[in-house]
Amino acid sequence: TEKSPRFSRILLKLSGEALAGNKDMGIDANILDQMSLSIAHLVGLGVQVGIVVGGGNLYRGSQLQKDGLVGRVTGDQMGMLATVMNGLAMRDALERRNIKTRLMSAIAINGVVEQYSSRNAIRFLKSGDVCVFVAGTGNPFFTTDTAACLRGIEIEAKLILKATKVDGVYNKDPNKYDDAIRYEHLTFDQVLDEKLEVMDLTAICLCRDHDVPLQVFNMNKAGALLSVVMDGNEGTRVSK
């Protein structure tokens, strides 16, 4: 008999950088398709999948402000709308792989996305649909990492997965130092005390306070996503 997944419901955070793949800007169609395949595999195993997408490949509010284009609040609104665009592309990529997908936004955009509600999201997840959550938390001065933790807690995900370009959390930058060591397990307090760059502090505190474990792993590594969900043996785990 086939082994059943360790985590029955997950929240996957895909940053804008991850969606851009090898491109400097915009969205990489091949990357989206690869991600969709991996997600299809999970759905096939009965895993309930919620996804939060970032927007940094298109716009970041803080940068737009620095550039002098707009004020911070407007910049953050542009950033949140960027995540909606990424989500639209992600939804279509998933549906091309015959995965039923719901696109739910924290900001109402009638006729384009449906409005987020945790009750509806949980109902959709239970029926086997993938839910893509966009527009972050709907508020300026937050990040999509925080949105991922918030949504993860709301939908009662068993694990929040942060997809990155490295294999986990290291004591120093593995791209710069050959002797960098990867942590297999960290506590939330260790991340906070040692100022390890996992997610922003708001996100880490939310997960700590609500006791939802985090797993940082390399999305570009074949089979990594599956391995995290099957037995959690991949990358770095952050928990109590």
**Binding-site annotation, residues for UMP:** 55, 76, 137-144
* Beta strands 214-218 and 185-187, pairing class: unpaired
Q: Does 76 bind ligand UDP (CB under 6 A)?
A: yes
Half-sphere exposure of 224 (CA within 13 A, CB side): 22
Q: Determine which residue in the list 79, 152, 168, 235 makes contact with ligand UDP, applying CB under 6 A.
A: 79
Q: Does 214 bind ligand UDP (CB under 6 A)?
A: no
Q: Does 142 bind ligand UDP (CB under 6 A)?
A: yes
Measured over the CA atoms of residue 218, residue 224, residue 226 and residue 228, the dihedral's sign is negative
Least Cβ distance, residue 62 to ligand UDP (angstroms): 6
Contacts 24+ apart (CB under 8 A), 38-42: 38/225, 38/226, 39/12, 39/94, 39/97, 39/99, 39/130, 39/225, 40/94, 40/97, 40/98, 40/99, 41/225, 41/226, 42/5, 42/10, 42/225, 42/226, 42/229
Q: Which CB atom, from 45 or from 81, has the smaller least distance to ligand UDP?
A: 81
Q: Does 17 bind ligand UDP (CB under 6 A)?
A: yes
Give me the residue label for tokens 């509010």: 61
Q: Does 137 bind ligand UDP (CB under 6 A)?
A: yes
Least Cβ distance, residue 126 to ligand UDP (angstroms): 26
Q: Does 80 bind ligand UDP (CB under 6 A)?
A: yes
Q: Which CB atom, from 80 or from 157, has the smaller least distance to ligand UDP?
A: 80
| Rounded-to-integer distance, Cα 201 and Cα 54, Å | 17
Q: Does 65 bind ligand UDP (CB under 6 A)?
A: no
Q: Determine which residue in the list 140, 158, 226, 239 makes contact with ligand UDP, applying CB under 6 A.
A: 140
| Rounded-to-integer distance, Cα 229 and Cα 223, Å | 10
User: Which positions lie near ligand UDP, rule CB under 6 A?
Assistant: 15-17, 54-56, 60-61, 75-76, 79-80, 82-83, 136-137, 139-140, 142-145, 147
